Amino acid sequence: MKHLVIVGTVSSICVLHTAASAGLRWFHIVVPANGISALTEFDQALTLRQVSWLYLGDVVRRVEDIVFD
């Protein structure tokens, strides 16, 4: 399985579109919540929800919480 950890800024645009592209290519997506930023709290929450629900990615609290099996 191919894993992809996504970090970045403007989460509702850059991070979300990167996650979409990766998800459509069957990557296992991991997004640390403290590794992304957004212009508003709503945008941050929206991005994390979309990554986990729509693209079946894993959202972890911190970068240090990432574990691959």
Look at residue 65 and tell me if it is in a domain: no
Look at residue 69 and tell me if it is in a domain: no
6-57 pLDDT per residue, tens:
999 999 999 999 999 999 999 999 999 999 999 999 999 999 999 999 999 9
Which pairs count as long-range contacts for 31-34, CB under 8 Å and 24+ apart, including other chains? 31/5, 31/6, 31/7, 31/57, 31/58, 31/59, 31/60, 32/5, 32/7, 32/59, 32/60, 32/61, 32/62, 32/63, 32/65, 32/66, 33/59, 33/60, 33/61, 33/62, 34/61, 34/62, 34/63
Residue 35's domain spans which residues? 3-57
Supply the pTM of this predicted model. Answer: 0.89
Look at residue 68 and tell me if it is in a domain: no
Q: How many domains does the chain have?
A: 1
